[in-house]
Amino acid sequence: MPCFSLTSLLLVAEEAAAAAETAESTGLLNMDRLPLLGVAVFFVVAVVFWISVARSGGEINVREIAGLKAIEEAVGRATEMGRSVLFVPGIQDVSEIQTIAGITVLSKVAKTAAEYDAKVEVPVARTLVMVTARETVQEAFLAAGRPDAYNEDLIYYVTDEQFGYVAYLSGMMVREKPAACIYMGCFYAESLILAETGNSIGAIQVAGTAMPAQLPFFVAACDYTLIGEEFYAASAYLSESPAELGSLKGQDLAKVLAFGLIGLGALLATATQFVPSLQGAFDFFTGTLLG
Amino acid sequence: MMKRTIPMLLAMAAGIVMILAYFFPPLTPLQDKTTVWFNILAAVAFILGGGNLLKVHLKKVSDRREGWAYSMITLAAFVGVLAIGLFKIGVNPLDEFPDQRMAGDFRAEGSGFWYVYEYVFAPLTATIFSMLAFYVASAAFRAFRAKNLEAILLLGTAFVILLGRTAAGVFLTDFLPEEGMLANFRLENLTVWIMNNPVTAGNRAIMIGIALGTASVSLKILLGVDRSYLGGGD
């Protein structure tokens, strides 16, 4: 025990020394990241401001997102055909923000399925996602007034291995022929294999991801695709909660800032061609301000 | 409270530490610790996953449900590979401890686990991955059908890019000069222009939207506005 305490003390002392060394060598604030900190603060203030505006009754409109509207249609079709709805929350863990966005959509899918008395099957590639998805689906069934219809065995772990997971899903899709396949989360090379298999069995397919390289595959093979920020807006769109809708407005403000910076950069780059003395300002803008 | 508030506070604290550590270097050790905690949680959950896998497939076999034979194969593979790894079957002892077979690395070359990985797992993975080529062909066939103006534009652009990336593209526009304005219309140069300008511009627009969306969702979680990851509800 004394040995353990001594080791702990030594470890703590080592960590403190390392932290002090880091602070000495780089200072309290990483100055290279100061402009980014400014942008982050602007973004936080904009989002918090619009959340408070929305909470105090300010009206916020969100354009219709066809992919999310189609979810109800897909679940309804599955009910009519007596087949299941397959929901795939991507292949990453809950530490990935896309997985969390996917779980939010799952909540809506599960609630609709509970109302229609349809079966939602959620095979997952990460155990923590399985636990989270089970909690979410159970809550959704409870909210729909059908807690008895919840079956935790429909949300299960397959494997962490990317292509092992794909092989299982493809086989299951061909054998069980789900009427609707919904892919919401982080995907890599498996996106096209899944979407093409779903297409070959004639399922309605809705996909959403923030992986730019996988978007063309989903667009080509699925009926509806939520592209990047639409996927992240799904949570606010589906919940219709003023606080969440307010965050979308704050996000739009940050987008205006981004547009402004792009416009300023383009203007400076063009002006530098005619007025060489502006080169310093351009270098500061691209090198320091934008990192 | 134990089910919602405490996990939410933990998530908020961990998230805030991760963000602040990016700007304030003295917080980096705390950031590393948070990552270690996540890894510990994930390791515990992995046992849960193994248990769930056994439960699901054993139930399928005992109920003789459709496809139960696949479940048998899954169970056999799971138990077999676990045994090979745990009991270090075929592991060569280290030079320092020639009498202690269990001291060797279970992933070392020549071990049973290594054989399973190299000669079973890797080929199976490669097989699934190589199927992508066929899926790309069928998806492209559907996507490139010239059914409206947008599809025609997509088809035309794809045609230029595909040709420009092959020797045929260079050969087809070889008659154009290598210098001057007409050189821009050589297929290999046109391909580079398309990739560097319209494609990059479109990609960056999507990336900016994604970055802001990621930040917004993260912020909603940190502020406790979005609690879907705790099972939905307010």
- 3-state SS, residue B126: helix
Domain with CATH 3.40.50 in chain A: 66-239
CATH architecture of residue range(s) A66-239: 3-Layer(aba) Sandwich (3.40)
Q: What local confidence, expressed as pLDDT, does residue B183 receive?
A: 93
What token pair was written down for A265? 């950069």
What token pair was written down for B160? 């230029």
Q: What local confidence, expressed as pLDDT, does residue B15 receive?
A: 87
pTM over 0.90: no
**Digit-coded pLDDT (tens) for B105-153:** 888 998 999 999 999 999 999 999 999 999 999 888 888 887 888 889 9
**Digit-coded pLDDT (tens) for A29-88:** 888 888 888 888 998 899 889 888 888 887 888 888 888 889 989 999 999 999 999 999
CB contact under 8 A, A189 and B129: yes
**Digit-coded pLDDT (tens) for A182-227:** 999 999 999 999 999 999 999 999 999 999 999 999 999 999 999 9
Chain B CB contacts of A153 under 8 Å are: 56, 59
Interface check for A26 against chain B (CB to CB < 8 A): the answer is yes
CA atoms within 13 A on the CB side of B212: 26
If you measure CA to CA, which chain A residue comes closest to B203?
A212
CB contact under 8 A, A47 and B216: yes
Nearest CB among A136, A199, A219 relative to B228 is that of A136
- Residues of chain B predicted below pLDDT 50: 234
Q: What local confidence, expressed as pLDDT, does residue B234 receive?
A: 46
Distance (Å) from the alpha carbon of B212 to chain A's nearest alpha carbon: 6
**Digit-coded pLDDT (tens) for A135-154:** 999 999 999 999 999 999 99
Nearest CB among B140, B214, B232 relative to A107 is that of B232
If you measure CA to CA, which chain B residue comes closest to A232?
B213
Distance (Å) from the alpha carbon of B167 to chain A's nearest alpha carbon: 25
3-state percent breakdown (helix, strand, coil) of chain B, nearest 5? 75, 0, 25
Task: Find where tokens 């416009």 sit.
Answer: A263
Q: For the range A58-64, what are the long-range contacts, defined as Cβ-Cβ under 8 Å and sequence gap of 24 or more?
A: A58/A242, A58/A246, A60/A242, A60/A245, A60/A246, A60/A248, A60/A249, A62/A233, A62/A236, A62/A237, A62/A245, A62/A248
Report chain B's C-alpha Rg in angstroms. Answer: 28
Q: What local confidence, expressed as pLDDT, does residue B144 receive?
A: 82
If you measure CA to CA, which chain B residue comes closest to A98?
B214
Give the ipTM: 0.85
Q: What local confidence, expressed as pLDDT, does residue A30 receive?
A: 86
- Best B10, B62, B199, B229 residue to mutate vs chain A (most A CBs within 10 Å): B229
Interface check for A60 against chain B (CB to CB < 8 A): the answer is no
CB contact under 8 A, B219 and A43: yes
Q: What local confidence, expressed as pLDDT, does residue A250 receive?
A: 86
A window 97-136, beta carbon within 8 A of B: 97, 100-101, 103-104, 107, 126-128, 130-132, 135-136
Q: For the range A23-29, what are the long-range contacts, defined as Cβ-Cβ under 8 Å and sequence gap of 24 or more?
A: A23/B25, A23/B26, A26/B25, A27/B25, A28/B24, A28/B25, A28/B26, A29/B23, A29/B24
Q: What local confidence, expressed as pLDDT, does residue B93 receive?
A: 86
Backbone angles phi, psi at B232, to 5 degrees: 70, -175
- How far from A92 is each of A102, A161, A168, A227, B74, CA to CA, in Å? 11, 11, 16, 18, 22
What token pair was written down for A253? 């403000």
Nearest CB among B206, B219, B233 relative to A212 is that of B206
Whether the predicted pLDDT of A16 surpasses 60: no
Chain B CB contacts of A135 under 8 Å are: 230-231
Nearest CB among B52, B129, B217 relative to A97 is that of B217
CB contact under 8 A, B220 and A164: no
Strand boundaries in A55-197, DSSP class E:
85-90, 120-124, 155-157, 180-186
Nearby residues of A191 by Cβ (< 8 Å), 6 or more positions away: A183, A207, A209, A211, A214, A217, A218
Q: What local confidence, expressed as pLDDT, does residue A9 receive?
A: 40
- Best A196, A249, A252, A290 residue to mutate vs chain B (most B CBs within 10 Å): A196
- 3-state SS, residue A207: strand
Distance (Å, whole) CA A263 – CA A82: 53
Chain B CB contacts of A138 under 8 Å are: 231
Chain A CB contacts of B226 under 8 Å are: 100, 104, 235, 244
Q: What local confidence, expressed as pLDDT, does residue A18 receive?
A: 55
